[in-house]
Homo-oligomer: A and B are copies of this chain.
Amino acid sequence: MFIIGELINGMYKNIGGAIKEKNKSVIQKCALDQAKCGADALDINCGPASRRPVDDIKWLVEAVQEVTDKPLALDSSKPEVIESGLSVLKNKAIINSTTADPEKLQALVPLAKKYNAKLIGLTISAKGIPQNKDQRLELAAAIVAGCMELDFPIDNLYLDPIVMPVNVAQSQMKDILEVIREFKIISEPAPKSIVGLSNVSQGTCERGLVNRTFLTMACGFGLDAAILDPMDKELMNAAITAELILNKQIYCDSYLDAYRKR
């Protein structure tokens, strides 16, 4: 599974403070810590409190790529913020994210092509969050169609079914898992799947347990990638072991360490 570390996000106090004070070392330590724990890429999000996200994302990208060459997922709902990050990015790029709305697709798909970036597509639209599997599939198909129209390579597209908190939308969880499998039959080559994991446990008393249980099940349904906290060792152990069971890495007694050192 392709793991995107979620921790460089201005909504976290330490990161928000570091952005405000332009304190590179906090950001760089967070980047290196996540990479060490097994993150394949790092999410970069200025957070809701950033007053100048177009500038802040540049500063974040530059700070992070001084210490790691991991791909960076530029995370904003504003295309101009993503474009600003891309303008200074030397590492591989992931655009996080487009929605199924035509104006978003028209802004972001060409950017993804221009920068040879992977693109995350949320199955959401101006109408809101889908409430069942069919609505999710419909929005997924719209994103795939939008990408195809603009000749974007579909194997660089990661569809996100929008994971809801289990204590709010319990009846939707199975749909969300099943749609991960069904994304694969939308096109050939198939789009990949991704989840923003932490939302599943929002407001619950057993966040770690809920996160790793959902992630493990999602792996069984063919999940390709996740945005999560790679410093959560039990979560990473669950993800690595799920990959092992799916025969995606060869068994050895020290398979957990072997994965992290790969």
Measured CB to CB, the residues of A under 8 A from B are 166-167, 170-171, 173-174, 177, 200, 204-206, 209-210, 213-214, 216-221, 237-238, 241-242, 244-247, 250-251, 253-256
Give the complex CA separation of A213 and B246 in angstroms: 11
Contact among B170, B205, B219 with A254 in the assembled complex (CB-CB below 8 Å) = B205
Please name all residues of chain B whose beta carbon is closer than 8 Å to the beta carbon of A254 when the two chains form the complex.
205
Please name all residues of chain B whose beta carbon is closer than 8 Å to the beta carbon of A174 when the two chains form the complex.
245-247
Give the complex CA separation of A53 and B216 in angstroms: 40
Residue of B nearest to A253 (CB): B205
Please name all residues of chain B whose beta carbon is closer than 8 Å to the beta carbon of A213 when the two chains form the complex.
216, 238, 241-242, 245
The answer on a CB contact under 8 Å between B253 and A204 is yes
The answer on a CB contact under 8 Å between A245 and B205 is no
The answer on a CB contact under 8 Å between A245 and B171 is no
Please name all residues of chain B whose beta carbon is closer than 8 Å to the beta carbon of A173 when the two chains form the complex.
245-247
Q: A166-B244, A214-B245, A216-B220 are in contact. List 6 more A-B contacts (CB 8 A).
A: A171-B247, A206-B255, A206-B256, A217-B220, A217-B242, A220-B221
Please name all residues of chain B whose beta carbon is closer than 8 Å to the beta carbon of A204 when the two chains form the complex.
251, 253
The answer on a CB contact under 8 Å between B217 and A245 is yes
Residue of B nearest to A217 (CB): B220
Contact among B206, B216, B255 with A216 in the assembled complex (CB-CB below 8 Å) = B216
Residue of B nearest to A210 (CB): B241
Please name all residues of chain B whose beta carbon is closer than 8 Å to the beta carbon of A246 when the two chains form the complex.
173-174
The answer on a CB contact under 8 Å between B220 and A237 is no
The answer on a CB contact under 8 Å between A247 and B170 is yes
- List the 9 closest A-B pairs by CB distance, nearest first: A217-B220, A213-B241, A216-B216, A220-B220, A205-B253, A167-B251, A173-B245, A170-B247, A170-B251
Residue of B nearest to A239 (CB): B213
The answer on a CB contact under 8 Å between A251 and B166 is yes
Whether A241 contacts B167 in the complex (CB less than 8 A), given A174-B247, A177-B220, A220-B221, comes out as no
> 21 A-B Cβ contacts within 8 A?
A166-B245, A166-B251, A167-B251, A170-B244, A170-B247, A170-B251, A171-B247, A173-B246, A173-B247, A174-B245, A177-B220, A204-B251, A204-B253, A205-B254, A206-B237, A206-B241, A209-B241, A213-B216, A213-B241, A217-B242, A217-B245
Give the complex CA separation of A250 and B166 in angstroms: 10
Please name all residues of chain B whose beta carbon is closer than 8 Å to the beta carbon of A238 when the two chains form the complex.
209, 213, 216
Please name all residues of chain B whose beta carbon is closer than 8 Å to the beta carbon of A177 when the two chains form the complex.
220, 245
